[in-house]
Every structure is written in C-alpha cells, then in structure tokens.
Amino acid sequence: MLSGLAGNASAEDRTDPAGTRTADAQLSGGAAAFAALADTDPAAALEEYWTPERMARALPADTLVPDAADAADATPAARAPEDSGGEPGSTEPAPPLQQEGRDISAALTETPVVGRVFYTNPNNGGDYWCSAGALNSDSKQMLITAGHCVNVGGSNGNAGAWMTNWTYVPRYREGARPFGTFAAKQFRSFNGWINNSNFEWDVAMVTTWPLNGSKLVNVTGGHGLSWNYSRSQAVTIWGYPGNHASGQVQWWCQGTTVDSGGRLRLDCNFGGGSSGGPWLRVYNDSTGLGQVNGVTSTVDSAGANRSPYFGDSVKEMFDAQGSYT
C-alpha cells in the first residue's frame, strides 16, 4: 500500500434501508435554498458566508469509529444486503471541456476532480469539512460523498437533519479556490443512513448549482461510477484527512481493498475530513480520473478506513439523481 501528499487523491420516503430520500440544500436558519433562492445566486450567499477565516476555522468531520462499534456495525442485523449477484458495471469518466491553460504538472500530483466540502452542522451550529469527488452524469452537476457529510444521521427510524451552508471547492489547497465554489442544490442519501446512522449506507450524491453558468463536471471533469465489483479491488483513495498536513492539501493512498464485514477496507490511516473522498478503480494518473467504487466512511483506532460496498442500490441512486438539474 502506498500513500502520500498530493502536490509533493427526490424520491418518496420508503421504509427499506436502500430507499433514498432527497432534500433541497438549506442556508442556516433559512428555507430550502432550491426554492427560497430561485431568484438569488446561492453561490454569492455562500461565498459571503465562507470567508477564508471561516474556512480556516472549520473542523474535520469526525470519522473515528471504535473497533467494537465497527464490528457491531457488520453484524447481520445491521448489515446491508450482500452482493446482488448482478453483473459488474461502470459509467465512463469525463474530462473537462476546457483543457487549455490548465497546470499539467499540478494535475499529475493532485486532481481537480476531488475537492473539499464545507458545511454547517445544524445540531450544534459548528462548521466542518469533508471530501468529495465530481461524478460524471447526464446533468454534469453531480458529486459523490459520504452520507454523514450531508445528513447528521438518525436513530431508531427518526430522520437526522440535513447539513446547511453546503458548498464544494474543487482542488482546495491551503485556502485557494482555483475553480471557485459550487453550492449544493439537492442532496440524496440512503434511508439506512438518514434514519439509523448505518455506515453500510453512508453514501450521498449531491447536485450542485452551475457557477457563473458553468457546470461542475464541464469545469473540472468527472469520475465514472462502478458497482457490483468484487470486494478485492486495486484502488486509489483521495481526500483531505485532517491528520495529514492539517487537511489543507489533497492526500492519496493506493492499495487493494479487502472485505470487512460486507464493507471495503484499506489501511490508509485517513482521519477526520477525509470522509466522502472517492475510492477509485482504474485511476489514470495523467488525467486524475477513475471510476468511483467507494467513499471514505470511517477510520478505526488502528488506522483502517472503510467504505460502503457499491452494489445495485448505488447504481439506482445514480440513475435517480444523475439527470436532475
């Protein structure tokens, strides 16, 4: 396994765990951004909220799960269904529309297709960061991250609250926003996370607003998606772990995943802030593109990171959200 510093990786409510629920992104204390900001550019409001000072004060989203809790999460009562038995499938990544003027040397050591997410937790009013990756789809406006980066998670079937002030900064680096900031327009996550905080379902897809008329994937490129592959896959993981360079630059980790109670495991020691970072099959160093086969969900005290397994349910989420604009 290798790891390193990059630059020196609305559906209706349903009771089944694989059901998805959508919500419009909200500003703190405000109504749904999609409705309330129909005549207002939400990116401008978030740009005002997320000052450089506020971004610097944001805390890494906590992904530490005690070993015992991780093991309990994998018990038959809590686990997601096993592989569907369906054929493995994938969608193609897409390069950005404009290549001219891009820093090729930077592209080889960090990727614009991964970025930092900033949001406010409505339960405590704190500002936090996660990681995410742009995902190619019909809309060209989507990204993928962890469920706990969009929703605080519920318990006993009671839904958790959605995060607010949610914005995505592609290739964030020490406060720099080389591609601007993309405001969230709509979230989608699994009911298994939203209602029960089950890490087997800790996945979310987010549709973003265009920035100055430009769509996210057209600006940065977008990864493809993989599903129903074996749990042993060579992957490259990207993210902004707070325990490496204080989460101010991208880090990557490469290795082969193993089955961990139905989830995927790779011992990268990516701490808080790396949540939502993509686990990429067939990663291409020269383009920074691959196929998302998982997202960082948790880390235990031994430094083992885990991701939900991507089966048919993730593909169904992609199909449901991918054309939303």
Structure confidence at residue 110 (pLDDT): 87
Structural domains counted in the chain:
1
Looking up residue 70, the CATH number of its domain turns out to be 2.40.10.120
How big is the CA angle at 148 (ends 264 and 234), to the nearest 5 degrees?
A: 25
The answer as to whether 81 is a domain residue is no
The answer as to whether 128 is a domain residue is yes
Structure confidence at residue 41 (pLDDT): 60
The answer as to whether 167 is a domain residue is yes
- Cβ neighbors of 10 (< 8 A, separation 6 or more) are 21, 22, 23, 186, 188
pTM (2 d.p.): 0.88
The answer as to whether 121 is a domain residue is yes
The answer as to whether 221 is a domain residue is yes
The answer as to whether 106 is a domain residue is yes
The answer as to whether 82 is a domain residue is no
Q: From residue 300, how far is each of 112, 212, 242 by CA, in Å?
A: 28, 41, 15
Provide the strand spans (E) within the chain: 2-5, 20-24, 59-60, 89-90, 114-120, 127-135, 142-145, 164-170, 182-190, 204-208, 224-227, 234-239, 251-256, 258-260, 263-266, 278-284, 289-295, 298-299, 305-307
Question: Domain limits at 177?
Answer: 2-76+87-321
Question: 184: exposed, middle or buried (C-beta count within 10 Å: 0-12, 13-18, 19+)?
Answer: buried
Q: For each successive 10 residues of the chain (325 residues), what is the average pLDDT? A: 50 46 58 32 83 96 61 42 73 87 56 97 95 98 96 91 95 94 93 93 95 96 98 97 93 96 95 97 93 96 95 95 91
Contact (Cβ atoms closer than 8 angstroms) between residue 119 and residue 163: yes
The answer as to whether 36 is a domain residue is yes
Longest dimension (CA), the chain: 53
